[in-house]
Amino acid sequence: MRILKKLAVWAFFSGSIFVFCFGTLDLRGGLNLLQIHQNSALMATASGKNLRSERMNHEAKNFDHLIGKVKGLSEKQLKAHFGLYQGYVKKANEIEQKLATADRATANYSFGEVSELMRRLAVAFNGAYLHQYYFENLTGEASQPSGDLKQMIEKNFGSMEKWTADVKAGLTSAPGWVLLVRSRRDGALRNILIEEHHRGLLVDQDIILAMDGWEHAYMIDYGTAKPDYSNTLLAAIDWKVAGQRLEQSLKSK
């Protein structure tokens, strides 16, 4: 009879380190040990020092193809924005590298190196990936929502015009982001306002569109005329990309 097996991972504490074990779990109830693996990349001392990870290195994507394509956003504006995005990617890597060796015993609400690194990780991490979403959903070609996305926007906001008004209200309300998201909780589409890069995030949301409302996204071209930038941004949305994101979200429900 064929024995069904499943990879199992378990751990025990030995001295000052965790030992991670990998084996196969016989689905009839037996456990077959393949090996005991003491990998330094997965060990941590009791004090929290010398933590190492196998997390990926964050890399900035190249969006130079947008230069000269997006009507209303100059080369100077886009290049300045690309540079800022690259800075967030660099800082996300730097913070995670420092967190790998930061002493957890120094944690403190008022100040502690590990505490500050933990507090700022979301800023750099989200700053990097929200910009990636933003540049990916920009286009210089005419684009309109269609299919499931158009229907869901009309169902959740009443009409495309009301959705547009809601986006503009969010962009006007604070520096930060307006995200069109789909909830994994109730399946609804919402526009949510994100202050800075991390305040206002709702749990269990799939990002369909990211719209950057920070001054750095428009000041070179528009000065303080944010409403004009908002019109440019809405006219430059790549609805094909948004539709693909929605499709992926619906598959993961």
Give residue 63's pLDDT band: very low, low, confident or very high (50, 70, 90). Answer: very high
Q: Are residues 79 and 125 in the same domain?
A: yes
Kindly state whether residue 47 falls inside one of the protein's structural domains.
no
Higher pLDDT, 61 or 48: 61
* pLDDT tens per residue, range 131-168: 999 999 999 998 999 899 999 999 999 999 999 999 99
Residues present in the chain in total? 253
Q: For strand 205-212 and strand 5-14, is the pairing parallel, antiparallel, or unpaired?
A: unpaired
Q: Are residues 130 and 155 in the same domain?
A: no
Inter-residue contact 66 to 18 (CB < 8 Å): no
What average pLDDT does range 204-233 have in this prediction?
98
**The predicted structure's pLDDT at residue 252:** 83
- Judge whether residue 116 has pLDDT over 80: yes
Q: Average pLDDT, stretch 233-246?
A: 98
**41-55 mean pLDDT:** 46
Count of C-beta atoms within a 10 Å radius of residue 91: 18
Percent of the chain clearing pLDDT 70 (strictly above): 78
Instruction: Convert the pLDDT of each residue in 89-114 to its tens digit.
Output: 999 999 999 999 999 999 999 999 99
Q: Are residues 168 and 222 in the same domain?
A: yes
Helix (H) or strand (E) holding 153: helix 147-157
pLDDT at 23 over 90: no
Q: Are residues 129 and 181 in the same domain?
A: no
Same domain for 112 and 153? no
Integer Cα distance of 201 and 182 in angstroms: 12
CA angle centred on 249, ends 192 and 191, rounded to 5°: 15
Strand ranges across the sheet with 176-183: 189-195, 176-183, 205-212
Q: How many CB atoms lie within 10 A of CB 133?
A: 18
Say what the pTM is.
Answer: 0.78
Residue from 39, 40, 52, 45 nearest 14 by CA: 45
Domain assignment present for residue 59? The answer is no
CB 40 within 8 A of CB 19: no
Rounded-to-integer distance, Cα 147 and Cα 113, Å = 49
CA dihedral 144, 146, 152, 158 (to 10 degrees): 50
Q: Which of 187, 180, 195 is nearest to 238 (CA)?
A: 180
What's the number of domains the chain is made of? 3
Instruction: Identify whether residues 13 and 36 lie together within a single domain.
Output: yes
pLDDT for 253 beyond 90: no
pLDDT digits 0-9 by tens, 161-197: 999 999 999 999 999 999 999 999 999 999 999 998 9
